[in-house]
Amino acid sequence: MKNPIRNSRPAALASLAALTLGSLVACGGDSDSTNADGTITLSIATFNEFGYEELIKEYEQLNPDIKIEHRKSGTANEHQDNLYTKLAASTGLSDIEAIEVDWLAALMEQSDAFVDLSDPEVEGRWLDWKTEAATTDDGKLIGYGTDIGPEGICYRADLFKKAGLPTDRDEVAGLFTTWDDYFEAGEEFTAKVPGTAWYDASGATAQAMINQIEYSYEDADNNVIAADNPEVKAVFDTVTTQSEAGLSTKLTQWSEDWAAAFQDDGFATMACPGWMLGVIEGNASGVKGWDIANVFPGGGGNWGGSYLTVPAQSEHPEEARELAAWLTAPEQQIKAFEAKGTFPSQVEALSDPTLTGATNAFFNDAPTGEILADRAEAVEFIPHKGPRYADINVAFQQALQRVDEGKETPDEAWSSFLSDVDRLG
């Protein structure tokens, strides 16, 4: 899923690396989850919006011997901290743990911490690249794919009108074919609507651009190349320059101030993977004017996407696997899309008329299913994310934020980032 610019935890990763299979099998969950009446309680831990609330109720109705405890974190940071801490402690994890794609490579190095979910019944369900990313060299599948994150541009049509810019989504799409076009439109907008930024956060825009680099921080052999990669430096320079020119809110994505900016005309556009639709609607409740354009600067882009895993700590791994398989089946992925806009990774779901014909009332009845399907087809490659990706990306985001907060100049922040990369590498 869904995901946000998030902090990673190097210390937690170091502890995670020390895990052994022996310690994992020696320790189970917090307590016996078989109830006195013979029912089994399964716990599932997710973050942000997976669209599972009604699905969990449905599964319990279909399986009266199963009770489900949904542990939902408000942010990916909180969920990731809990995951790493309890993996290192070898106890306390849920029967199903959601993981975000940016963490996947690091967790794949500890694949013994997770149940092998390989099963002939689920072969061919997902887009090939979605399954391959969660498959070890020896063929172990550690996660069932949930969503993917094809990106469009979400925008406030009412604020565009105020600036004299086109408001029709097809005309808006013509404004954003390249990043230069996008920033030029932003300069025009901020000149005419002072006090409102062009986009929601420097980190978010930078993340969208980084996701269009096939090898950003690590090469194909997982050697760290971030410090010497001119494409990474170009993203940093572009985003800090545009921020200093007033196009960014200079807020940290997912912060309270960022959430409040949805309600006070804080910004006009944002990079918009499918899972972001539910986030926008939740934060911008009561605000009129949101729409989505079938375009993304520079071509296609994918941001985020998650998996459901079954930790080896689970006391009921088979029942947990069955629940994870059901939640990620095509029918359920369509229902999650209808609930929260999470775009399916299931091959069969991608051609479902419910998806292709879906509209979203909050986004001016935009044909979101068709738009996101087109955006998915525009993705030419999935960027490589090795075991150090998450930590380096955090350092990159923090460098951008120090510039936004006036704590460092761009040159100073880049130098600090290089030092961080050197330590991580």
HEC-encoded secondary structure of 232-291: HHHHHHHHHHHHHCCCECCCCCCCHHHHHHCCCCCEEEEEEECCHHHHHHHHCCCCCCEE
pLDDT of amino acid 381 = 87
Phi/psi for 405 (5° steps) reads: -85, 0
Measured N-to-C along each axis, helices 202-210 and 389-404 cross at an angle, to the nearest 10 degrees, of: 140
Token pair of 268, please? Answer: 């006009």
For residues 290 and 269, membership in a common domain is answered with: yes
Total number of residues shown for the chain? 425
Q: How many Cβ atoms sit within 10 Å of the Cβ of residue 26? A: 10
Per-residue pLDDT averaged across 358-379, rounded?
A: 95
Same-domain check for residues 207 and 255 = yes
Tell me: do 91 and 58 sit in the same domain: yes
Distance, CA of 81 to CA of 13 (rounded, Å)? 10
Is the Cα torsion angle 382, 400, 416, 424 positive or negative in sign? negative
Pair of tokens at residue 127: 């887009």
Percent of the chain residues past pLDDT 90, beyond the cut = 85
Q: Residue 30: pLDDT above 90?
A: no
> Is 114 among the domain residues?
yes
Question: Does 236 share its domain with 273?
Answer: yes
Tell me, letter by letter, the H, E, C secondary structure of 331-347.
HHHHHHHHHHCCEECEH
Domain of 271, in residue numbers: 149-302+382-424
Cα distance between residue 6 and residue 81, in whole Å: 11
Left, alpha or beta for 148 (phi > 0: left; psi -120 to 50: alpha)? beta
* pLDDT-based confidence at residue 252 (cuts at 50, 70, 90): very high
Query: Which element (helix H / strand E) includes 384?
Result: none
pLDDT at 19: 42
Task: Quote the tokens at residue 74.
Answer: 């408000």
Residue 10: pLDDT above 80?
Answer: no
Last residue of a domain, one of 331, 363, 395: 363
Residue 1's pLDDT is what?
A: 53
**279 shares a domain with 194:** yes
Query: Helix (H, G, I), strand (E, B), or coil: what is residue 137?
Result: coil
Report residue 304: phi and psi, to 5°.
Answer: 90, -165
36 & 71 share domain: yes
> Residue 199: helix, strand or coil by DSSP?
strand
Q: Is 370 inside a domain boundary?
A: no
User: Among residues 317, 333, 363, which one ends one of the domains?
Assistant: 363
Bridge partners for 291 per DSSP: 155
Whether 123 is in a domain gets the answer yes
Is residue 242 domain-resident? yes
pLDDT interval class at 29 (50, 70, 90): very low
- 92 with 127, same domain? yes
| Whether pLDDT at 13 is above 90 | no
Please identify, among 317, 332, 363, the residue that sits at the C-terminal boundary of a domain: 363
Is 372 a domain residue? Answer: no
Q: How many domains does the chain have?
A: 2
| CATH value at residue 60 | 3.40.190.10
In this predicted model, what pLDDT tens digit does every residue of 183-229 receive, in sequence order? 999 999 999 999 999 999 999 999 999 999 999 999 999 999 999 99
Q: With contact defined as beta carbons under 8 Å apart, do 210 and 102 qualify?
A: no
309 and 328 housed in the same domain: yes
pLDDT of residue 237: 98
